[in-house]
């Protein structure tokens, strides 16, 4: 939807009236204005994929031993939760930190790449 709204903007219409090539319009006018939402969406999807993979492994539907996966580590440590809670805490923190990191990366890249927020 962002691409369609950018395509209808005045600066794209001005480039079309100058008879600029389609490649020029896409690369110079449209792409810089739609990259920020695409990058943010991509980082959110990466974070979601990490959480989904860990959840599936925890439920036994993802990685199987001897493969190593954060969800599998949490699942195998579950019987020892009361005696050794760190066996669950560290993989859980890993999942959380990587997911938060990708979300923060997306937010930072959005702030840097968004042409509307530049002064």
CA 91 and chain centroid, separation: 20
pLDDT of residue 37: 83
Residue 30 lies in a domain: no
pLDDT of residue 17: 87
Q: How far apart are the first and last CA of the chain?
A: 25
Question: Range of 62's domain?
Answer: 36-117
Residue 24 lies in a domain: no
User: Which one, of 77, 66, 70, lies nearest residue 55 by Cα?
Assistant: 70
Question: Looking at the 3D structure of the chain, how many domains does it have?
Answer: 1
SS3 state at 9 = coil
pLDDT of residue 52: 95
pLDDT of residue 48: 94
Instruction: Point out the residues of the chain with pLDDT beneath 50.
Output: none
User: Which one, of 117, 55, 21, lies nearest residue 63 by Cα?
Assistant: 55
SS3 state at 64 = coil
pLDDT of residue 85: 93
pLDDT of residue 107: 86
Residue 92 lies in a domain: yes
pLDDT of residue 117: 62
């Amino acid at each position: 939807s962002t691409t369609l709204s950018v395509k209808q903007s005045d600066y794209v219409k001005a480039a079309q009236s100058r008879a600029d090539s389609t490649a020029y319009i896409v690369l110079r006018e449209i792409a810089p204005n739609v990259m920020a939402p695409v990058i943010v969406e991509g980082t959110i999807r990466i974070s979601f994929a990490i959480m989904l993979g860990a959840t599936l492994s925890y439920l036994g539907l993802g990685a199987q031993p001897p493969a190593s996966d954060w969800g599998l580590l949490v699942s195998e440590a579950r019987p020892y939760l009361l005696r050794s809670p760190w066996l669950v805490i560290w993989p859980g923190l890993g999942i959380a930190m990587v997911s938060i990191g990708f979300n923060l990366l997306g937010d930072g890249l959005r702030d840097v790449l968004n042409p509307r927020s530049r002064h």
